[in-house]
Structure 1
Amino acid sequence: MNAPQDNTVAPKPAKSGPPVPLLIVGAILLIGGIGLGGRMWWRAQHLVETENAFVAGRLHPVATRVAGVVTEMRMQDNAVVKAGDVLLRLDPSDAAVQIERLKAQIAQADAAIATTAAQIAQSKAQAAVTNSQVAQAESVLARTELDAKRSQALFGAELRATSKQELDAALAARDVARADLTARKAGASAAKEAIAAAESARQSANAQKSATQALLKDAQNQLGYVELRASSDGRVGKRTVEVGQRVQAGQQLAAIVEPEVWITANFKETQLAKMKPGQKVHVKVDAFPGKELEAHVDSFAPASGASFALLPPDNATGNFTKIVQRVPVKVVFEPESLKSLGEAATRIVPGLSVQVEVEISE
């Protein structure tokens, strides 16, 4: 007897498909990609950003106007100073000696002026005497000429009313009077020249005195320059001078950094189309990770950064490669945002690197 046959049909295996976890991961990645793409699109439409930015401020060089030896030092590294505070003093001895020397020269000039004034007075008196002598000589000459003419007339008459000896005496007296008048006039001319020379000497002495007085004023200014004062409020930095060191005029000894700071952000020229003053700016300072500060666009530079370079580019050549230019933009911190940092705000100093994002949406 045959065994019963089993007619049961074996079930077909189910079709294989991607595992459910893989689908979930793919969906997450797709959603993340869409979200990232959407965020990037939104930022491109509403923000412009750059990492080519840094904190800027005003740095005032500290330099003396005169040479000298430092005798007193009051400024300390990184110390806060106020405008007008004494930073250091130089030895005033050289300037004081120069002032005394110039005062002595002015006294000498005053003495020379007094001497020339006396010479002028004397020459004028002499000129008055010679002028009176000239007048007297002219009178004598007039009389002797009349006598000579009269003697000539009497000697030439038929009666010979005068002798040849008397005629010769009259003519001689006339010639003597003429010579005396010439001498007197020469003396008067010499007296006038003496007056002119004395006047010239006085003018020269006055000019010398004026020049010496100008030098004295400059020396007094130099004496005032031995005390170096702060030109503005700020903090002292880069001090390179010590007591006893001899410094030269114009030599930079330190720098004063003002407390006011701002940001210079170098944006590409293609990013400027929608930017304008007053727009809100988000700032991240590398020195304060995780902190975001608020600021606003203040102004745009009048030229690109390359235009202010020591050697500006010259494109008038045969070969030209177009390079995207960057334009410096001044960004100013909001005061309230800096106050939120408290004392740490003083550590935002010129030179720090920052990242800026400008909201360009209307």
Structure 2
Amino acid sequence: MADQPAQDETPANAHAGGDGKPANGGGKGGQDGKPANKKPNPLKNPKVLIIGGIVLVVLIVGGFFYWLWARQYVSTDDAFVDTHIVRLAPQVSGQVMRVTVDDNAVVQAGQVLVEIDSSSARASLDQAQAQRGQAIAQIAQAQAQVGVSQASYRQARDQAAGLAATAGQASRDAQRLTGLQAATPRAVAAQQVDQTVAQAKQATAQRDAALRQADGAAAQVRAARTQIAGAKAVLAAANASISENQLTLGRTQVIAPVAGYISQKSVAAGGYVQPGQQLMAIVPLQMWVTANFKETQLKNMRVGQSVEMSVDACPVKLHGRINSIQRGAGQAFALLPSENATGNYVKVVQRVPVKITFDDVPRTCPLGPGLSVQPRVKVR
């Protein structure tokens, strides 16, 4: 029992040094009671605070200047190259004899693109020209007949005038002798009176015949003039037929109405075409951009403002200007426009087409309708 306290002191001092500290001189605590491996707070470092403040000021100033720069422009990615594509179709039917262009070729206005068989049109034109010559001959013949009939009429008229004078004289002689015979029967022989009366009747008959002959000659003149009118009508019909056949003959050639690029060519020599059948299309050289801006972006947008455009197919930036702004949003021209006067209404920002024309297009830039464009308009 006497040596038991010595056994109790041994565990307490087994791992302690002579000074009462841990044998290894370590532990979780130091001499001041704080953790020995704790890192310093960087936010309390003056250098970090200065650098952070400088960076924050730079960001604020840079953001402010970027805002000043960005507010000068409005842009959209809902924009495409646009143009009026010309689709060519024949106006006559026939076999294609020759096609003078190839796919994607450049053509000029007035250039012949397709030639259709014109033999039938040429035959009809020759027939119409022959009818025209026949009508001209009929007119000349009728005009000559008018001259002859007018001469006959003048002759018959002059003859009728002479016979009318003779008949008048004979009638007056007969009247005098008849009156003398009635007053003095013995003064004039009855035979002489009868002869004079007969001569007067004969002269009257000759006068009437001459007048009828003159009327017949006048009728011949009118008939000849009618023939002239009829021949002129035939001539007019022949001229109209010539014009129509010349037009048909001209339509056997499909001609480029504008300059541009050939596209979607579907015709070849030897094929048979019908009126209205699409043969090819021409993409005109003049193109523009249709950009669908939001209605909220139009506040400061005006005609004539400069535009910078990025086209995926072009290696350089393109420049242009606003040509016009459509009066009305796109949905107003839809086949079935929305009816906002019924039911609940939720406002949706509409888009308005804006036409942008190019200032210059490099030859290395293969522009075409439908290509995507990203325009940026300087509004301030």
User: Is TM (by shorter chain) over 0.5?
Assistant: yes
Change in Cα spacing, 1:129 to 1:275, as seen in structure 2 (3 Å) is same
Alpha-carbon distance in 2 for matches of 1:153, 1:161: 11
SS at match of 1:242: coil
CA distance in structure 2 between the aligned counterparts of 1:243 and 1:61, rounded to whole angstroms: 19
Match of 2:131 among 89, 105, 111: 105
- Residues 33-59 of structure 1: per-residue CA shift (max 9 Å, x gap): 979986995576222122221011342
In structure 1, the partner of 2:33 is 11
Deviations 1:122-151 (A, max 9, x none): 212321231122112212211211221111
Q: 2:253 aligns with which of 227, 251, 272?
A: 227
Q: Does 1:87 align with 2:106?
A: no
Whether 1:353 and 2:372 are equivalent positions in the alignment is: yes
Cα offset for 1:310?
6.4
Task: Write out aligned runs for 1:1-362 (5 A).
Answer: 11=33, 42=68, 45-287=71-313, 293-306=317-330, 309=333, 311=335, 324-335=349-360, 338-339=361-362, 343=364, 345-346=365-366, 348-361=367-380
Q: Is the 8 A contact 1:48 1:360 kept in 2?
A: yes
Contact 1:64 1:250 in 2 (8 A): yes
User: Structure 1 stretch 293-302 or stretch 121-130: which is displaced more?
Assistant: 293-302
Q: Which has the higher strand share?
A: 1
User: Greater relative contact order (Cα 8 A, min sep 6): structure 1 or 2?
Assistant: 1
TM-fit CA distance, 1:250: 4.7
User: Matches of 2:212 and 2:340 in 1, distance apart?
Assistant: 80
What is the distance in 1 between the residues matched to 2:329 and 2:31?
A: 84
CA drift at 1:64: 3.2
Cα distance, 1:99 vs. partner? 1.8
Q: Which moved more, 1:211-220 or 1:97-106?
A: 211-220
The amino acid that maps onto 1:356 is P
| SS class of match (2:225) | helix
Task: Tell me if the contact between 1:69 and 1:247 (Cα under 8 Å) persists in the aligned partners.
Answer: yes
Which stretch shows the higher mean deviation, 294-303 or 315-324? 315-324
Q: Structure 1 pair 159/225, CA: closer, same or farther in 2 (3 Å)?
A: closer
In 1: Cα distance, 2:210 partner to 2:192 partner: 27
Query: Within 2, Cα distance between the matches of 1:209 and 1:51?
Result: 65
In the TM superposition, what whole-angstrom CA distance separates every residue of 1:142-177 from its partner, at most 9, and x where no partner exists? 121122111122112145312445434433433343
| 1:283-311, Cα deviation, whole Å (9 max, x unpaired) | 233456xx662323231135225498365
Distance 1:299 1:52 in 2: 17
CA distance in 1, matches of 2:271, 2:334: 34
Counterpart CA distance in 2 for 1:206 and 1:327 is 61
| Conserved 8 A contact 2:310-2:318 | no
Q: Is the 8 Å Cα contact of residues 282 and 292 (structure 1) preserved in structure 2?
A: no
Compared CA separation, residues 315 and 192, structure 1 to 2 (3 A):
farther
Larger radius of gyration: 2
Alpha-carbon distance change, 208 to 232 in structure 1, aligned in 2, over 3 angstroms: same
SS at match of 1:240: coil
- CA deviation string 1:309-354 (max 9, x = no partner): 365859796779666443322223443xx53xx63x12x2111122
When normalised by structure 2's length, the TM-score is 0.75
Q: May I ask how many residue pairs the two structures share in their alignment?
A: 347
Q: Which runs of 5+ in 2 are unaligned?
A: 14-18, 22-29
Identity %: 33
Query: What is the deviation of 1:94?
Result: 0.9
| Structure 1 residue ranges without an equivalent (≥5) | none
Instruction: Give the Cα–Cα distance (whole angstroms) in 1 for the partners of residues 197 and 334 of structure 2.
Output: 95
Give the counterpart letter for 1:281 in structure 2: V
TM-score computed with the length of structure 1 as normaliser: 0.78
Instruction: Kindly provide the amino acid, as one letter, of the partner of residue 355 in structure 1.
Output: Q
Q: SS of 1:244's equivalent?
A: coil
For the residue of structure 2 that corresponds to 1:257, the secondary structure is: strand
Cα shift at 1:65: 4.1
Q: 1:229 to 1:150 in 2, by over 3 A?
A: same
Query: For 2:95, what is the secondary structure of its paired residue?
Result: strand
Instruction: Please tell me the root mean square deviation across aligned C-alpha atoms, in Å.
Output: 4.1
